[in-house]
Each structure stands twice: as structure tokens, then as C-alpha cells.
Amino acid sequence: MPRYKLTIEYDGAPYFGWQRQPNRPSVQATLEQAVLKFCSEEVTVRGAGRTDAGVHALGQIAHLDLSEPHSTDTVRDALNFHLKREQIAILGVDLVGDDFDARFSATKRHYLYRIQSRRARSILKEGRVWWVPKQLDADAMHVAAQLLVGHHDFTTFRATKCQAKSPVKTLDKIDVRPEGLEIHIRVSAKSFLHNQIRSFAGSLRLVGEGAWTADDLQAALDEKNRRACGPVAPPWGLYLQGVDYTRPDQD
């Protein structure tokens, strides 16, 4: 039974997240319906990251098994044909071994959070960035963000309904850089807690506008208490940018 790796781009706005849900549109269920229309097979499409409602993807990775072999171009083009009315596109398809698992084989996940920092609200980027009508200090945000790098108990930056067994995670990298009128927060780690990145973004905004200092962010981290977190940033500024795997043919 051949296994296919999918690289997927989507606009998260029309969907209630990646994961299949009863009576609500999801990215996973929409992809599974496209596969059914393509080859009449009921499959489970397994993703590398369970993005929340409204969160976008530039490079989500998923895998699926089909009973009959097809060329990778055929799988890509057929799925895109059946997705043409959806806000989902298959960027690439690769044939991988049975040991590949989009979620459990991943060694690192990369996310991008986009903030538009200007007085006028965003029109052309509405639903794509978090509009903040203040000038933010990206340098101060970046310096403070480095306090989050490393192995920590991130209870403060974890959703109360997070299902992870432990709040302890290792954050490999976080960069905050100005990009024109936007500020981009790029974050990398093997895995994340529920709402962790959006919690980072909301707290770093407080640093950028001068309401918090780096010491305040450190104190919030040390508090290990959800109530110490800044306001959680909205989902529409968040993008799953890419996923790394150990083997070159899985990357």
C-alpha cells in the first residue's frame, strides 16, 4: 500500500482547524473528501500539526495511504481539481516509505506570526495579519523573546484546555524582525503547546508597545500561571510555515 506525503497550503479562515469535527468544516475532512472523489477510497489524512480554527499554513505536511499506486503528479493534480472550490492547495506530493509519519517523524516545526503595526487598519491583509494600531518596538520584542528560548515550563503560555501531558517544552529559536510595516515573529521547536505561539505574540506585543519590559516577560514565564500571560493574539496572524524531517526525502 503506497504512502504519499503531501505539502499543503491553506487559508484557515473557512475551517474550524485542521482536525476533523462533527458538523463543522475542517482541513482534514475536506482533504479526505477530495481523496474519496479522486479514487473512491475512504482514508485518514494525518497532519504534522493540528492547527486551530483560523490558523493558516504555508507548508503543512500530511500523509495518506492508498490501496492502488498513482504517480505523485496524478495525486497532486487530482486532489487540486477536487479542491478547486476550497481554500486549500496541494503544493507537492512525494512517495515515502511506510515508516514515514507526518506527525511523529517530524523533528522540528516552524511557525510565523505576522503583526501589522500601523495606525490605519489593514484592508488588503485583513484576515492575514494581526492589526495593531500602534508603533511597536521590534528590537525590544526580539531582545525579550530570547528569554523564552530553551527548556522551560511554559504553563503561563499554555491554553487552559491544552491536552499535552507536560507544560515543559524546548523552544529552539524565536526571532522578531520588522518586515516593512509588519513585524514577523518566527518560532521553531520540535513541538508546541496549545496556543503557545499566540500567547507569545500577545505578550510580546505588550513589550513592543512599552507596557511590559523584558523583566516582566521573564516574571510571567517564572510565574507558571496562565493568568500571568498577556492577551492571546488572534489566530489569523499565525501560519504553519514548514516541518523538518530527518531523512532528506522526507524534508
User: How many CB atoms neighbour CB 102 within 10 A?
Assistant: 23
**52 catalytic residue (yes or no):** yes
Q: Which of 11, 52, 94, 137 is catalytic?
A: 52
C-alpha to C-alpha distance for 163 and 240, rounded to whole angstroms:
20
Could you report how far apart the first and last alpha carbons of the chain are, in Å?
Answer: 21
Nine cell digits for residue 118 = 500601523
User: How many CB atoms neighbour CB 32 within 10 A?
Assistant: 18
C-alpha to C-alpha distance for 169 and 121, rounded to whole angstroms:
35
C-alpha to C-alpha distance for 206 and 230, rounded to whole angstroms:
7
Contacts (Cβ under 8 Å, ≥6 apart) of 165 = none
C-alpha to C-alpha distance for 201 and 120, rounded to whole angstroms:
20
C-alpha to C-alpha distance for 66 and 85, rounded to whole angstroms:
23
* DSSP β-bridge partners for residue 113: 185, 238
C-alpha to C-alpha distance for 221 and 203, rounded to whole angstroms:
10
Distances in Å between the Cα of 154 and the Cα atoms of 60, 104, 166, 187, 224 are 24, 22, 9, 14, 7
Positions annotated as catalytic residues are 52
